[in-house]
Amino acid sequence: MSAALPWRHLLLALAVVSVWGTNFVVIKVGLRDLPPLLFAALRFTMALVPAVFFLPRPSVPRKNLALYGLLIGVGQFGLLYVAMNGRISAGLASLVIQIQVFFTIGLSIWLTRERVRKFQWLALLLAALGILEIGVHTDGATTTGGLVLVLLAALAWAGGNMAAIQANPSSMLAYVVWSSAYCIAPLLVLAFLVEGRDATLAGLHRATWTTWAAVAWQGWGNTLFGYAAWGWLLARHPAATIAPMALLVPVFGLGASALWLQESLPAWKLLATALVMAGLAVNLLWPRLRAALA
């Protein structure tokens, strides 16, 4: 495996992070017609079918598959969609959800009793200052409730990461696809209980071809293409070469939101973005930089 990315592999990595980043704009498109929990249920249905008929079930315990499916499907995306349904802007959602990195570290430290390193405290402080900056400037487009929901979604994502680490599946794509089966029914039940039968059926009735394209993009583009391509790249290059590319996801998210949704980029939002991105960069890149200098 080579540390230098061939240009075709670099373009593929950029395609993945651009899909993951612009996906927050696509979520906004789907939410125009579909209630959030129904939207999430349809997204994971698309991720499950037809891929489940072509990918063998990963050799991991069913309880682990169910746990991952519930944490990612109901916890991460269910809460994220609810938050993005008028409670937080797409651009900021793409940024705040990245706090899952620090939640994942925290859960790992809690479970393994690993010591927190100095650079991790610095990284967390920078990111926390960025989140605080967002919290101070909540307005009609971004509310305190929306910010809290996205932070809870990030915590659920971190829990899903721990479940995946414990399972250590041979194919992450198959793991994601098969785990989707465990969150569809709970999401549909919650949709009928929380959003109501009338709103659920009305959402299906209102759905246009753009709505279904948004659902398909969520299930097939964001999930199947994203995980398949990312896994393919990780199998051919060191994680230290591929992982930093994920820092571009909020960049694409904020850029796409400003371009397509006309979301403003005031100074406070740019400052918050810089602080969170700096925290993520310190956490991800500092150990590699130190090793390189040594």
CA dist 211 and 202 (Å) reads: 13
For the stretch 123-145, pLDDT in tens is 899 999 999 999 888 767 789 99
Question: Taking the C-alpha atoms of 144, 145, 146 and 147 in order, what is their torsion angle to the nearest 10 degrees?
Answer: 50
Q: What is the C-alpha separation between 173 and 222, in angstroms, rounded? A: 12
- The kind and range of the H/E element at 91 are helix 90-96
From 41-45, 246-250, 275-279, 288-292, the region with the lowest mean pLDDT: 288-292
Is 2 inside a domain boundary?
A: no
With respect to residue 272, please indicate whether it lies within any of the assigned structural domains.
yes
Does residue 271 lie in a domain region? Answer: yes
Q: Which domain holds residue 239?
A: 7-293
Question: What pLDDT does residue 198 have?
Answer: 95
What total of structural domains would you count in the chain?
A: 1
The H or E element that residue 201 is part of is: helix 197-206
Per residue in 184-221, pLDDT (tens digit) is 999 999 999 999 999 999 999 999 999 999 999 999 99
Query: Does some domain include residue 192?
Result: yes
219 within some domain: yes
Task: Establish if 37 belongs to a structural domain.
Answer: yes
Q: Is residue 83 part of a domain?
A: yes
42-81: per-residue pLDDT in tens? 999 999 999 999 999 999 999 999 999 999 999 999 999 9
Predicted pLDDT at 292 = 72
pLDDT in tens, 70-97: 999 999 999 999 999 999 999 999 999 9
Residue 182: inside a domain, yes or no? Answer: yes
CA distance 11 to 233: 11
Measured torsion, CA atoms of residues 275, 277, 280, 282, in degrees rounded to the nearest 10: -70
